């Protein structure tokens, strides 16, 4: 038996939300898709219906998408959050990730990218539109690396870049001409040095410290 997936779209632009619902309803197998237009409606919906993924705009009437994401992470930790927004500045993206979003897809993305982002997030993986990854990894020269970051080797910092962009161990190994086992060893060492326990924690750490 195939497992169905319950998707909620939160966007106050009705035409965009309806178009997104149409795409997902006919492109995602066994998907049930609903829409709401503001943050409070998201919270009410989650109290009434088991939901797998919320596609969440940031600029919602009343309660912002960032505040909604924080509430979901605190009260509905099993729900996955994919931000879908026009905003592509570092501060907004970083705030959304820190609030609990596991993916960030720009509204300028095509259908194929949106479906890829949804697939990743629904599997509890991370996804970021290619256009915003360089913005996230911009380092501010005035900020010094803290004691944690100073423990990292050049190879480990290089690996963090690839991990943040969503590449698998096999893909990274191929790019760096090393074995997948070596990649996994580096990853475990990075986690230990930075005191993080997951890829989402690593991304949050990298954003907080402008690790490029």
CA 183 to chain centroid, in Å, comes to 22
At 149 the pLDDT is 62
**How much is the CA Rg of the chain, to the nearest whole Å?**
18
Q: Where along the chain do its domains lie?
A: 5-129, 137-208
Residue 209 has pLDDT above 80, yes or no: no
DSSP-assigned letter for residue 146: -
pLDDT, tens only, 76-89: 999 999 999 999 88
Give the residue, 22 or 198, on which the prediction is more confident: 22
Identify the helix (H) or strand (E) that includes residue 81.
strand 80-85
Measured distance CA(10)–CA(65) in Å, rounded: 9
Classified as helix, coil or strand, 165 is coil
Structural fold of domain 5-129: Rossmann fold (3.40.50)
Measured distance CA(184)–CA(163) in Å, rounded: 11
pLDDT, tens only, 106-125: 999 999 999 989 998 998 88
Q: Is the pTM above the cut of 0.75?
A: no
**Which residue in 130, 145, 139, 111 sits closest to 24, CA to CA?**
111
Residue 150 has pLDDT above 60, yes or no: yes
Structural fold of domain 137-208: Arc Repressor Mutant, subunit A (1.10.10)
């Amino acid at each position: 038996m195939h497992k169905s997936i319950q998707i909620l779209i939160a966007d106050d632009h009705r035409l965009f939300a309806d178009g997104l619902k149409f795409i997902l309803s006919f492109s995602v197998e066994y998907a049930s898709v609903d829409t709401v237009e503001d943050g409070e409606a998201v919270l009410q919906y989650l109290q009434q219906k088991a939901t797998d993924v919320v596609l969440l705009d940031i600029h919602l009437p009343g309660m912002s998408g960032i505040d909604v994401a924080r509430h979901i992470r605190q009260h509905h930790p099993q729900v996955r959050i994919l931000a879908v927004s026009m905003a592509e500045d570092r501060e907004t993206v970083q705030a959304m990730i820190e609030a609990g979003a596991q993916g960030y897809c720009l509204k300028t993305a095509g259908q194929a990218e949106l479906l890829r982002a949804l697939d990743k997030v629904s599997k509890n993986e991370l996804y970021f539109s290619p256009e915003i990854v360089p913005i996230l990894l911009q380092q501010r020269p005035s900020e010094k690396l803290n004691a944690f970051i100073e423990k990292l080797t050049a190879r480990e910092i290089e690996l963090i870049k690839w991990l943040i962009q969503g590449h698998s161990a096999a893909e990274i190994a191929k790019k760096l001409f090393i074995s997948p086992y070596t990649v996994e060893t580096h990853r475990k060492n990075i986690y230990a040095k930075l005191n993080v326990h997951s890829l989402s924690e690593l991304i949050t750490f990298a954003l907080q410290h402008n690790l490029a």
